[in-house]
Copies of this chain bind each other. A is one copy, B any other.
Amino acid sequence: MRTIEHWSVVEDGSVTSPLGFQAGGLHCGLKKTDRNDLGVILCEVPAVAAAVYTTNVFQAAPLLVTRDSLKDRRLRAVVVNSGNANACTGKQGEEDAFAMRAEAASVFGLEEGDVAVASTGVIGENLPMEKVIGGISKLPAAAAYGTDGAEQFSQAILTTDLVKKTACVKLTIDGHEVTIGGACKGSGMIHPNMATMLAFVTTDAAVEPEVLQSLLVDTTNVTFNMITVDGDTSTNDMLLVMASGLAGNEPLSPAHPQWEAFAEAFRYVNESLAKQIARDGEGASHLIEVQVEGGNSDTSAGAIAKTIVGSSLVKSAVFGADANWGRIIAAAGRAGEPIDPSNVDIKLGPILVLEGSKPVAFDEEAALEYLKGDTVQIFVNLHGGAGSATAWGCDLTYDYVRINAAYRT
């Protein structure tokens, strides 16, 4: 709960809002339409970098390359293609991912180890490398400071997302203005064979390398790891953050007096991006936010929150505007976490529906109206401890089935 926000939102800000970053995008031929399918974020100095990757056993080839480049926690660029995930592509796929890195390093005049690679799209098909290499050679002309380049990049990373997803805040640290921007894509595994959640966050803050990695891990645990669209984790998920340091502040670490402010601003950006992904879940018509408090621990509360927001029956009930606490409590009870079954409260938005595990009378009309709103909040108080957590998801609709049941006739 934030009572004082140390940051302010930058409307229409994105990955090029922090000092030192250019971005760009173009169409190189991976997508059938002429939509952008190749993009780049470029930093004019070696940026301190950190990343987190999917825990899926099947890791797409680009992740191998990016892990290699991130060994020294420094990056100058990340090249991203959509339309092809370069996943389950064997040795050829690995060679292709390294070739993407090599070409990008070449055309931008960089060391290969300063370039990361990401891919999203169809699984199991090799990259058409002539198109990719050809596209990369045109990226330097496409990369630019400012909003146009950022817009091109945001479009380049989308697969069948309905909307681009960006976020940006600024705050003051050591008297210097620091900006944090981000762009992401994904809404679960949206389209037959397409995968992935990708997020790119840039900042001009000066941050120590190991500190940035820790912050990313901690922040991911309460943002991107707390969203579920359909429970699936792709082969390509990756979150990458680059910090140019050009804001000129004293390098941030937990010892810095304004560390908390920075960490909260960073969390806000990631949370915003994560919620946008959940809201754009395939077929979704509602964002669902589940807040659990009174759990044994934050981890326990988190497991319960994710189980509730991931329950097909809870998701369907939201789609149907059904104030159905029975499904919420049943989902909570199967999360594998300890709960005192006699002392659970549940609220749907402002409407109390269960108190001390006993149903309470409520205004059905008011509940129906509330459930028709774009965001549906479910509050669960377990009265068991100090653990709390929030998870996000979306409703389960006919469109989800339509989008995912692709008839191949």
Q: Please, which residue of chain B has its CB at the minimum distance from the CB of A405?
A: B320
A144 interface hit (Cβ, 8 Å): no
Question: How far, in Å, is A312 (CB) from chain B's closest CB?
Answer: 4
Given contacts A233-B330, A324-B192, contact A317 B404 (CB under 8 A): yes
Contact B232 A408 (CB under 8 A): no
Given contacts A334-B232, A357-B90, contact A193 B327 (CB under 8 A): yes
Q: Which of A201-221 contact B (CB under 8 A)?
A: none
Most buried by B among A320, A337, A364, A396: A320
Contact B123 A330 (CB under 8 A): yes
Most buried by B among A90, A324, A404: A404
Question: How far, in Å, is A292 (CB) from chain B's closest CB?
Answer: 13
Contact A334 B401 (CB under 8 A): no
Give the chain B neighbours of A230 by CB distance below 8 A.
311-313
Given contacts A330-B235, A405-B317, contact A57 B359 (CB under 8 A): no
Interface contacts beyond A193-B327, A232-B331, A320-B407: sample of 9 additional A-B pairs, CB < 8 Å, sorted by A? A57-B332, A189-B313, A192-B324, A231-B312, A232-B311, A233-B333, A235-B333, A320-B404, A321-B407
Chain A residues close to B by CB (< 8 Å): 55-59, 87-88, 90, 122-125, 188-189, 192-193, 195, 230-235, 310-313, 316-317, 319-327, 329-334, 337-339, 341-342, 354, 357-359, 364, 368, 396-398, 400-402, 404-409
Leading 10 A-B pairs by shortest Cβ distance: A320-B405, A316-B404, A123-B326, A56-B333, A57-B333, A230-B312, A58-B333, A233-B334, A319-B405, A193-B326
A-B residue pairs in contact (CB < 8 Å), sample of 7: A88-B354, A232-B330, A233-B333, A312-B312, A320-B404, A397-B401, A400-B401
